[in-house]
Chain A
């Protein structure tokens, strides 16, 4: 289990982490979400030891994270980081060797990931000669080449084309299936919704929402879209707890509390006319995200552009 416990970190007057806590279990694929400046990058850097927390701690399998654990961690920094003039294969071997992987194993792993990520033709080219997308593949390979048991990736999907996005998603899911604890930050909420079983949402250094995506969506209340061929004055007689979210022509969208049976709303609507269209939706992750951040306007208003 990766545990971030009550992490605090300030940069001058800017509070980046304000008592952040969450957990990621082995085999879990966790999306780490938050607006710009929420503290995602700082939290991840604390987890890999690149930034020291002012207070709080990060544990892996019950132990504070030390050098030995960091060497078994795969990390993809936000700004990316590779030696521009070093060749792809050589660079991957070097990164693995620094993490105490035997030279032969490192060479084999490097080749395996180069092939898997489709950059075989660039194996012996300097990294700076690769396209940005391919550099990102090398960066991912650098996080994986030592067979880590913990993967911490800062915006791994940013800048990828749809095909590369598919490959990245597939690799992350495979890693989680193999028992690796994977946490990655992203602003692509739909992608996270499809890919991750759990999410953690952070705003101004604090956790504002976390848990399994399915449970969050179920708990977040459903939306019922109803269209009738009669008047829409039935909405005045809605059962307690239900509320109109929007109206467009004859179509009304109603938010339902988790306990309310949608049939009760339909019964009311049917009294004003024949049902023309009915649609029951769970909320999208993006809606949950917006609600979670907006529910704390005190935080949302103060978000800075500094995402350290």
Chain B
């Protein structure tokens, strides 16, 4: 039997046992239901109160700032594709840009030259889609006007639309979404890390207390036992994330696609990545510490060092939401124990350099490797000593066998 098969077997048992725990499954489902309810609120509101911005074919006319003058045929063609229009004359390009920025216009046209548009809102790029439609319509109208009804089809098909220019960068919705995501990320990562730390410690205590560990280590190398537990609980954590977030997101999508914060995919990926790294780091530390004790009432006490480390990371991460690029946040990003809290915040609401992100990743991965070695040794030294708490030095010095 290969090491991986053994690890998978042990991980499989962990997964099955958790899934059989009514408490665990019940709590997860209840939380998921709460999130769905939370998503339903804005979804329902959104379904009834759609603002013109959200809705390209709303009854409200599209406001177009125009430099130059549109021919009647062009206006008619635009109305055919975009719906009713209100045209607002503008003196020059700068006037169009400021109208777009102040949201007194939805679209800008510099006749015969370019189409200007504010950045996309929502996942499906409502604003910019409208601009591209307008650009194409105008170009087509011009061509048709020039060649007349007898013009060749090739001329029509070969038409180049006007260039489209996007004015401004992030919009406020995106900023708000990132801020919310950063807050959620810190709380979520901290809560999950603490939850899984105590989960792995309680599992280890169960094995020590029931002495089943003797039966296990007879047949399985102790390190594979540890790896199996970490992988098994990690699988459960992934599944739990899925159950927590997928139903709520699905509700949002079904209710109104425009309600999904822009860039949510990237944000979730960032949170997921840092959670996974934090999970590996803190679960391994907890497993090493957990092997030192034998009674459930000692679990919290033995976890204190890990909890304190995570708590510091949590506090710094939270503070970093207000000042993501302040020097304390930059420094904390280089510390592997706080990076899983600080880096997602910085990536969501700040502007870390790619060196800072890559460096933090490398350092955390290195820390995980070192912690894995240390934890495995302490785990080996403590796992078979039932009874009084084992000193960390004792566990380190001698394998318990």
Partners in one complex: yes
A residues within 8 Å of B by Cβ?
45, 48-52, 67, 70-71, 73, 75, 77, 79-86, 90, 94-95, 97-100, 142
Q: A81-B214, A85-B17, A90-B16 are in contact. List 18 more A-B contacts (CB 8 A).
A: A45-B214, A50-B214, A50-B218, A67-B219, A71-B219, A73-B218, A75-B218, A79-B386, A82-B210, A82-B215, A84-B210, A85-B20, A94-B9, A95-B219, A98-B219, A99-B219, A100-B1, A142-B215
Contact B210 A83 (CB under 8 A): yes
B195-226 interface bits toward A, Cβ cutoff 8 Å, 1 = contact, 0 = none: 00000000000110011111111111100000
Q: Are B399 and A70 in contact (CB under 8 A)?
A: no
Bound together, the chains give a CA A75 to CA B215 distance in angstroms of 7
> How far does the alpha carbon of A75 sit from the alpha carbon of B211 in the complex, in Å?
12
Q: Within 8 Å of chain A (Cβ to Cβ): is B87?
A: no
In the assembly, what is the distance between CA of A97 and CA of B6, in Å?
9
Residues of B at the A interface (CB closer than 8 Å) are 1, 6, 9-10, 13, 16-17, 20, 206-207, 210-221, 384, 386, 399, 401
A50 to B17: give the CA distance in the assembly, Å.
25
Q: Name which of A51, A73, A82, A98 has the most chain B CB atoms within 10 A of its CB.
A: A98
User: What are the residues of chain A within 8 A of B16 when measuring CB–CB?
Assistant: 90
Report, nearest first, the 9 A-B pairs whose CB atoms are least far apart: A81-B211, A52-B401, A81-B212, A77-B214, A79-B211, A100-B1, A98-B219, A48-B218, A99-B219
A49 touches B211 (CB 8 A): no
**What are 11 sample pairs from A and B whose C-beta atoms fall under 8 A apart?**
A48-B218, A49-B217, A49-B401, A70-B219, A79-B211, A79-B386, A81-B215, A84-B206, A94-B13, A97-B9, A100-B1
CB contact under 8 A between A67 and B215, given known A52-B401, A84-B206: no
Q: Determine the distance from Cα of A67 to Cα of B401 in the docked complex, in whole angstroms.
A: 14
CA distance A85 to B17 in the complex (A): 8
How many Å lie between the Cα of A67 and that of B217 in the bound state?
10
Query: Bound state CA distance, A95 and B9, in angstroms?
Result: 10
Whether B217 and A80, one on each chain, are in contact in the complex, defined by CB atoms closer than 8 angstroms, is no
Give the distance in Å from the alpha carbon of A79 to the alpha carbon of B10 in the complex.
Answer: 22
Nearest residue in A to B20 (C-beta to C-beta)? A85
Residue on A nearest B16 in the bound complex, by CB: A90
Q: Determine the residue in chain B with the shortest Cβ distance to A9.
A: B401
Question: Are B214 and A52 within 8 A (Cβ)?
Answer: no
Q: Are B401 and A83 in contact, CB atoms less than 8 angstroms apart?
A: no
A104–chain B nearest beta-carbon distance, Å? 15
Minimum CB–CB distance for B199 against chain A, Å:
14
The 8 Å CB contact of B221, one of A50, A67, A79, is A67
Considering the complex, give the chain B residue whose CB is closest to the CB of A143.
B215
Which listed residue (B6, B206, B212, B218) contacts A49, Cβ 8 A? B218
Nearest-neighbor residue (CB-CB) of B214 within chain A: A77
Q: Which of B17, B213, B219 contacts A86 (CB 8 A)?
A: B17
Determine if A82 and B217 form an interchain contact, defined as CB atoms under 8 angstroms apart. no
Q: Using Cβ atoms and an 8 Å threshold, which residues of chain B touch A51? A: 384, 401
Q: How far is the CA of A94 from the CA of B326 in the complex (A)?
A: 52
Closest Cβ of chain B: how far from A44's Cβ, in Å? 10
Judging by beta carbons under 8 Å apart, are B216 and A75 in contact? no
- Bound complex: CA of A297 vs CA of B212, how far in Å? 37
Bound: A96/B62 CA distance, A: 72
Q: Give Cα distance in the complex from A82 to B206, angstroms.
A: 10
* A80 and B399 within 8 A (CB): no
| A97 CB contacts on chain B under 8 angstroms | 9
B residues less than 8 Å from A83 (CB atoms): 17, 206-207, 210, 212
Residue of B nearest to A75 (CB): B218
A77, B17: Cβ atoms under 8 Å? no
Interchain CB contact under 8 A, B217 and A50: yes
Taking CB atoms, residues of chain B closer than 8 Å to A84 are 206, 210
Per the bound structure, the CA–CA distance linking A45 and B217 in Å amounts to: 11
Q: Is the CB of B211 within 8 A of A80?
A: yes
Kindly list chain A residues whose C-beta atoms are within 8 Å of the C-beta of B210.
81-84
- Indicate which residue in A67, A73, A82 contacts B212 across the interface (CB closer than 8 Å): A82
Cβ contact within 8 Å between B9 and A98: yes
The CA of A179 and the CA of B9, in the complex, are separated in Å by 30
Bound state CA distance, A97 and B216, in angstroms?
11
Q: Which of B20, B214, B220 contacts A98 (CB 8 A)?
A: B220
By a CB distance below 8 angstroms, the chain A residues around B213 are 81
Looking at the assembled complex, report how far the CB atom of B94 sits from the nearest CB atom of chain A, in whole angstroms.
72
Residue of B nearest to A80 (CB): B211
How near does chain A come to B310, taking the closest CB pair, in angstroms?
28
Which residues of A are found within 8 Å of B386, using beta-carbon distances?
79
Q: Are A77 and B215 in contact (CB under 8 A)?
A: yes
- Asked whether B214 lies within 8 Å of A75 as measured between CB atoms, the reply is yes
